[in-house]
Structure 1
Amino acid sequence: MSNMTQTGSLQLSSGNDSAKIGGDTSTFTTVSFPTPFPSGSTVIVIPMVQTFNGPDTPGIRIADVNLSGFKIRLNEVVGGLGTIADGKHTTETIGWAAYTV
């Protein structure tokens, strides 16, 4: 089976507190791949913030990667002047690439 790559971007913000409970994806956004990957593939997703709209540092969490998509959320990690952030962040453009390995 040859390697396959798909890419995309989305507008994402966070109006929620920081995600702190492993496995709780209730505040995540679902992203569907343009084309599902072939059965038996192992898929990895690499996201990157493409914009600098908010002054605080956004983190990105990815969950539940599968053949048809994944879940993603912003999880602000550092607030102003180095304080611990509350998790909320303004809208940023997030680019992603998904690959079979």
Structure 2
Amino acid sequence: MSMVQSGKVNLDSAHSTETQGGKTDTFKRVDFPTPFPAGTDVIVQVTVQTFNGPETPGIRLHEVSNTGFKVRLNEIYGGGISADGKHATETVGWTAYTV
């Protein structure tokens, strides 16, 4: 039996693009309303639901577990505009489920 949870979080990116693998001090922790059962494989999908900054926001996930995950906006290069990593506040929807 699979289990599904969803929610949203407001994120901004006040920091430059993170280029060092595993460095997550600029990520935001999201805790699931109800932890998934221990030992289950959890999948998290995220989607930016607003358009508050002119550059394209990229999403990075880290440390997905049965209790939550870490997420960060990273402004990305696009349309001839150079990205500095910083981005306005956007609403990000998430869905988590077990497989």
Mapped to 1, the partners of 2:9 and 2:41 lie a distance apart of 23
Partner of 2:43: 44
Partner of 1:87: 85
% identical aligned pairs: 58
AA aligned to 2:12 is S
Shift of 1:84: 2.7
Gaps of at least 5 residues in structure 2 are none
TM-score, with length taken from structure 2: 0.96
Any runs of at least 4 consecutive aligned residues in structure 1 with deviations exceeding 4 A, and if so which? none
Partner of 2:56: 57
Q: How many residues align?
A: 99
TM-score, with length taken from structure 1: 0.94
Q: Could you say what the CA RMSD is over the residues aligned between the two structures, in angstroms?
A: 0.9
Partner of 2:5: 6
1:98 aligns with 2:96: yes
SS of aligned partner of 2:76: coil
Gaps of at least 5 residues in structure 1 are none
Mapped to 2, the partners of 1:18 and 1:7 lie a distance apart of 27
